Amino acid sequence: MAFTQPPLPFDSNALEPYGMKAETFEYHYGKHHKAYVDNLNKLTEGTELADKSLEEVIQISFKDPSKAGIFNNAAQVWNHTFFWNSLKPAGGGAPTGDLAAKIDRDFGSFDKFKEEFSNAAATQFGSGWAWLVDDGGTLKVIKTPNAENPLAHGKKALLTIDVWEHAYYIDFRNARPAFIKNFLDQLVNWDFVAENLAKA
């Protein structure tokens, strides 16, 4: 069973009023994300991993250095799908309900969470990701290099931002901090984060 690329959860031009051009998705979704899916299918075709779920492939290949190429592509397929769902038009602002209460409990305040998340995203050297995770019932911010994700480390992902340069270069050139601020102010899909927390 071939791995497939899920459709974007919004039109490719839906985030243009909120700082992300359709051209970004033409390249980031249409070329980068698609290439990870295509490469994963080539690397797993005819192997015991071809019939596993994407999550199983990530967990199995992460533990086996000989499968690093499979891990990198599988994790990037998963990471990008998760990132698209972390975005929505007219998103951002502050969460509400149980999610807001747990952020206040574990970070001290929403502003403290934003500061910690922004710092993790800004200081991830080179390519990678910043995440809000549920780690055994406690919310934490972590950052991961390259394709690594919380799933590989036994943590539950709630939210992510992609800080590979291709994620923001069309819209923000080399200004990663401006991309991060825009993400938090205008794009975060807190409904998706709350759903992930409810399933944690």
* pLDDT reading at 34 higher than 80: yes
pLDDT at 129: 98
Please give the domain boundaries of the chain with CATH numbers for all domains.
20-85 (1.10.287.990), 97-198 (3.55.40.20)
* pLDDT reading at 121 higher than 90: yes
* pLDDT reading at 89 higher than 80: yes
Taking the C-alpha atoms of residue 141 and residue 98, their distance in angstroms, rounded to an integer, is: 18
Residue type, 21: K
Please state the φ and ψ torsions of residue 31, each to the nearest 5 degrees: -115, -55
> What is the average pLDDT across 93-107?
98
- Listed as own residue / partner, the contacts of 98-101 with beta carbons closer than 8 Å and 24 or more positions apart are 98/194, 98/197, 98/198, 99/190, 99/193, 99/194, 99/197
Where in 52-178 does DSSP place strands (E)? 128-135, 138-145, 156-162
pLDDT at 157: 98
Q: How many residues does the chain have?
A: 200
pTM, rounded to two decimals: 0.98
- pLDDT category of residue 200 using cuts at 50, 70 and 90: confident
> What is the average pLDDT across 73-90?
98
